[in-house]
Structure 1
Amino acid sequence: MASRIRPLLRRLQGPRWSRSGTCSSAMAPPRCFALELPDCSLAHFALEDPGAAGAHQDPRLPALLGPPGRSFALCAPAVTGGDCGARVQAARVQQQLQLQLRKGEPFQRCQLHRLLGYSPGEPAAGARHGFLLHDPRAGPDTWGALLQVLGACPEPARPNLGEFEADASGELWLRLWALHGDAQRQVSCARVVPVPAPPVHPVVLDLPSSAVFPDRDAARAVLEECTPFIPEAQAVLNLVDQCPKQLRKGQFPVIVIEGLDATGKTTVTQSISEALGAVLLQSPPSCIGHWRKIFDDEPNIIRRAFYSLGNYIVASEIAEASTRSPVIVDRYWHSTATYAIATEVSGGLQHLPPAHDPVYQWPQDLLRPDLVVLLTVSPEERVKRLQGRGLEKTREEAELEANSIFRQKVELSYRRMENPACHVVDASPSREEVLQAVAHLIRASCY
């Protein structure tokens, strides 16, 4: 392998390579990657960072990237700044690529892992989403199938293609290819060097522009980009535009009930609203609720924009209803934010944004409730309650059941929400005890 790689390096156009294989003219920080492993841990590596060579070892990388299998990296081009249209297009290409890599031969025999590219010290560069495709059999047909799939992607958002190889000494290398039509040209070849994890997960700085929108305008800009291919997006925007931007809550209290499915939200919201003579609302509101399936099938940035704007429509309903009676809301902004964070941030609990991060703060332009109640039950109790319900599951609900790490990330994100924070109520006891606990919270906080 080394005899094939090093002569090739000398023939490459672009940066000149030294005898040690390092790029002598590269002045920018090395590009790093975060690879999500099956146990939800993250393995970090860089391309040609001589300062890190030997300083950090990760035996997981050769086991996954090296022989006897064959591994490929696919990362979307970087989207920087406020180019919302480019973010939407990249997300749609990414989703389509994931669907293609999960079906048909030779991909069904391969393993697919989330891969993030990032540049330490350059937060404006943003994270580049992608995949690592590992073929344990190293089949010769995988390369051709990959080229066919990537060739169908629109060129501005076409993912970059990298191929991992090991030389005679066991060092890992990544060949990077440029695709132009039906032609492929190798543009670089760099050594893979394990590096420590960064202090904060690479996607955290991107969350306000891709998943946890800080205001109505940010979410609105996303759906505006979707109107050419999702007709319902314009209908949602029309409803949002009918809602005043400056809203004031009435003199009656507004209580939000949050929690995973099967924690008793329906029972609590209905019973408490009857006891208080309150108006019962839900997010997303009924005026757009029948479009949920359409947006649930879209990439996360579009799905989150839909749910975020639904909160602003609900806020308009809350403002009007709270002038006449108390208001109970079945889910609101906290639900939108927690699921977005848990979905976007790969890895385990330790990779979530740290407590008090701005992503956990309530949007300044969204009507704020007086109290948020978070219902919780043990995983075992929740599974027992879900059995036999016979309801169609959303993609996220299926993920909650299949992936305990995802469920724990949602729950921890709920607990880190601030201004307002969630008041946790154990919903495992009897119905009467849970209702008494929630009623006590409401009396103490709102009356």
Structure 2
Amino acid sequence: MNVRCSLKMAQSLGSTLFQEWAKRIFAIEFNNNSEPLYFALNPTSEGPWDENSRLHRLLTRGQTYSVCISSENRIQGAESYLHLRDKLARLPERCRVMELMAFFPNKQGSLIKGFLIQDGENDQGTERLLQDLVRESGQTSFCSYMRDDGGRIWQRLGLVTDGQEREIFRNCISLAERPELHPSVLNIKNSVVFCKYEDAYSVLEECTELIPTAKDVLQLADQCERTSRKGPLPVIVIEGLDATGKTTLTEALRESIQATLLKSPPDCIGHLRKTFDAEPPLIRRAFYALGNHITASVIASESEKSPVIVDRFWHSTAAYAIATEVHGKVENLPPPHHELYQWPLDLVQPDLVLLLTVSAEERVRRLERRGQMRTKEEIELEANSPFRQKLEETYRRMENPACVVIDASASKEEVLKNALLCIERYCGIERT
């Protein structure tokens, strides 16, 4: 195939995906407990390699393929990724699907997400099925992996057109070192954590044709008074996982200090949560970010008249987004003092954030006593210990303001007493 023609076709699929493809580092993730396997690409077989490495053993188990999503339209790209993930979940049980990431180390916004697929039976039907999915998804790369006579493994980057897959590039795989930042950290800002109102607003603005109810959220946001200032009276945010006693404490504090009680997202958009929770992270997190700004406009006005208690706010929005996006262990989180832990400059800042904590066992007991149907998020928290640990650690790394931790395993009277002591210390108001 003519190289110039191949490059032209590659560029037509989107410059972001194919630009300097061979200079990217790749990461394969197995699950939430293991370290990713990293590899690089070389046009020759001169790069470092070890046939006893985990990477070699992995890539020589049956037939291996990978697909990566890249689109100039971020909404289409997010939807395509979700669609592709759901389709791959329906592959035969013999097929193994793992997360794959391609990125430039430490370069923000460079991450391309995809999947590595293995078929232990070398069934050509799997390859045809994957090629069909690539055509459906649009701007998607398709790679296959092969071992040469010398034991080295090569990645073939292909273009699927007219029912056929044509090779564009072929590069030899070599071992790569672990980067300073976990690759998923590179794309968190403005994709799941929005540090500015305009950034979250623009995402929902772009998806109004896809999700008509996004217009309702935007209209409510337009009606809100935009300010980063609050009134003279204290604003206290209560954070924590479900079943840590947030509702009990917020109600008690409302009565004790004669406060206005608010929550985020507010009731005016709360009925839309189910709709946006089914959308890709980009859209879902933008919805919750705008919910914070809608709540902030009420905080600003209410704090002119009375103290304000807020049931969850920006910290929980950011913490859940970061802990969900960063796979693996706690060590993979953004390092302390990273910009993702900083309070947005254009969002009303509370005087105090209280983080309620209980042991995992106590939280499960409380949920069981409630007898309520557990949400998908709750099931994940209970079953996935690394996720829960990352979430708790992310809360603790939040800054400006940082969370003040309160042990919520004591009686509700003791928890209220400790919360009031914190409010008196940080905000200068006492119970009436």
Counterpart Cα distance in 2 of 1:57 and 1:334: 45
Counterpart Cα distance in 1 of 2:269 and 2:69: 32
Report what 2:390 is aligned to: 409
Contact persistence 2:22–2:42 (CA under 8 A): no
Root-mean-square deviation over aligned CA pairs: 2.4
Contact persistence 1:126–1:203 (CA under 8 A): no
Contact persistence 1:249–1:319 (CA under 8 A): yes
Instruction: Please state if 1:218 is matched with 2:205.
Output: no
- Per-residue deviation, 1:52: 8.2
Instruction: Please state if 1:90 is matched with 2:77.
Output: yes
Instruction: Please state if 1:13 is matched with 2:3.
Output: yes
Contact persistence 2:194–2:286 (CA under 8 A): yes
**For the structure 1 residues 381 and 51, does the alpha-carbon distance in structure 2 shift closer, same or farther, using more than 3 Å as the test?**
farther
Secondary structure of residue in 1 paired with 2:361:
helix
Contact persistence 1:223–1:237 (CA under 8 A): yes
Secondary structure of residue in 1 paired with 2:99:
strand
Query: What count of residue pairs does the alignment treat as equivalent?
Result: 415
Counterpart Cα distance in 2 of 1:227 and 1:409: 33
Report what 2:301 is aligned to: 320
Counterpart Cα distance in 2 of 1:34 and 1:28: 14
**For the structure 1 residues 386 and 78, does the alpha-carbon distance in structure 2 shift closer, same or farther, using more than 3 Å as the test?**
same
Secondary structure of residue in 2 paired with 1:280:
strand
Counterpart Cα distance in 2 of 1:299 and 1:367: 27
- Residue identity matched to 2:42: E
Report what 1:45 is aligned to: 39
Residue of structure 2 aligned with 1:33, choices 15, 26, 31: 26
**For the structure 1 residues 415 and 27, does the alpha-carbon distance in structure 2 shift closer, same or farther, using more than 3 Å as the test?**
closer
- Per-residue deviation, 1:250: 1.6
Instruction: Please state if 1:335 is matched with 2:316.
Output: yes
- Residue identity matched to 1:151: R
**For the structure 1 residues 59 and 414, does the alpha-carbon distance in structure 2 shift closer, same or farther, using more than 3 Å as the test?**
same
Contact persistence 1:249–1:323 (CA under 8 A): yes
Counterpart Cα distance in 1 of 2:382 and 2:332: 21
- Residue identity matched to 1:142: T
Counterpart Cα distance in 2 of 1:418 and 1:52: 46
- Residue identity matched to 2:180: P
Gap regions ≥5 residues in structure 2: 6-18
Report what 1:198 is aligned to: 179
Q: How does 1:229-248 map to 2 (within 5 A)?
A: 229-248=210-229
Report what 1:101 is aligned to: 88
Report what 2:67 is aligned to: 74
- Per-residue deviation, 1:63: 2.4
Report what 2:9 is aligned to: none
Contact persistence 2:296–2:347 (CA under 8 A): yes
Report what 1:118 is aligned to: 103
Contact persistence 1:175–1:189 (CA under 8 A): yes
**For the structure 1 residues 91 and 392, does the alpha-carbon distance in structure 2 shift closer, same or farther, using more than 3 Å as the test?**
farther
Counterpart Cα distance in 1 of 2:99 and 2:155: 17
Q: How does 1:58-69 map to 2 (within 5 A)?
A: 59-67=53-61, 69=62
Q: How does 1:309-388 map to 2 (within 5 A)?
A: 309-388=290-369
**For the structure 1 residues 446 and 58, does the alpha-carbon distance in structure 2 shift closer, same or farther, using more than 3 Å as the test?**
farther
Residue of structure 2 aligned with 1:396, choices 356, 372, 377: 377
**For the structure 1 residues 160 and 318, does the alpha-carbon distance in structure 2 shift closer, same or farther, using more than 3 Å as the test?**
same
Secondary structure of residue in 2 paired with 1:208:
coil
Report what 2:117 is aligned to: 133
Report what 2:281 is aligned to: 300
Secondary structure of residue in 2 paired with 1:179:
strand
Gap regions ≥5 residues in structure 1: 1-10, 16-25, 80-85
Secondary structure of residue in 2 paired with 1:92:
helix
Report what 1:251 is aligned to: 232
- Residue identity matched to 1:415: R
Secondary structure of residue in 2 paired with 1:229:
coil
Contact persistence 1:34–1:44 (CA under 8 A): yes
